[in-house]
Amino acid sequence: MEHISSFLDADPFSQELGIKLESVSKNTATLSLVISEKHLNTHGTVHGGVIYTLADAAFAVASNADGTPSVAINTSITYMKAVKSGKLIAKAHEFSKNHTLGSYIVEIHDHEGEKIAVFQGLSYRKRR
């Protein structure tokens, strides 16, 4: 799992947004982001692209955690609630996996546990 810490560290966009790795296991990943003014849109709420990027990063970490290189081939996100401040937590877990494809669900919650969005990702597992 050591390769995963460097995996996220090597992503300048995630670093710019302040995304942090909280935990990772073979099939799951938890990432977080402390909301700042740079994350807000013109309505004063967190920009949807920030939420999507946090979810996508959690998906990337979870889908690569077992050491098999994986890349996204399809993703979708449903936004459920706007958020203005605090901390966002993205928890990714493996839904299904075979030798070629992996399916993941990522739930994004605010610091009070309210569900903000749900992300689904399908990854292609590269052969070594």
pLDDT higher at 99 or 33: 33
Query: Distances from the Cα of 99 to the Cαs of 69, 88, 95, 112, in angstroms?
Result: 12, 32, 14, 37
Phi-psi region of 122 (alpha: psi -120 to 50; beta: other; left: phi over 0): beta
The domain that holds 110 is classified in CATH as: 3.10.129.10
pLDDT higher at 1 or 26: 26
pLDDT band at 1 (very low <50, low <70, confident <90, very high): low
Average pLDDT on 91-100 reads: 94
Sheet order of strands, 28-34 included: 20-24, 28-34, 87-97, 101-110, 115-125, 70-79
Task: State how many domains the chain has.
Answer: 1
pLDDT of residue 22: 95
> pTM for the full model?
0.94
pLDDT band at 8 (very low <50, low <70, confident <90, very high): confident
Phi, psi of 106 (to 5 degrees): -125, 125
pLDDT tens string 28-76: 999 999 999 999 999 999 999 999 999 999 999 999 998 889 999 999 9
Could you list the residue range(s) of the whole structural domain that residue 83 is in?
2-125
3-state class (DSSP) for residue 56: helix
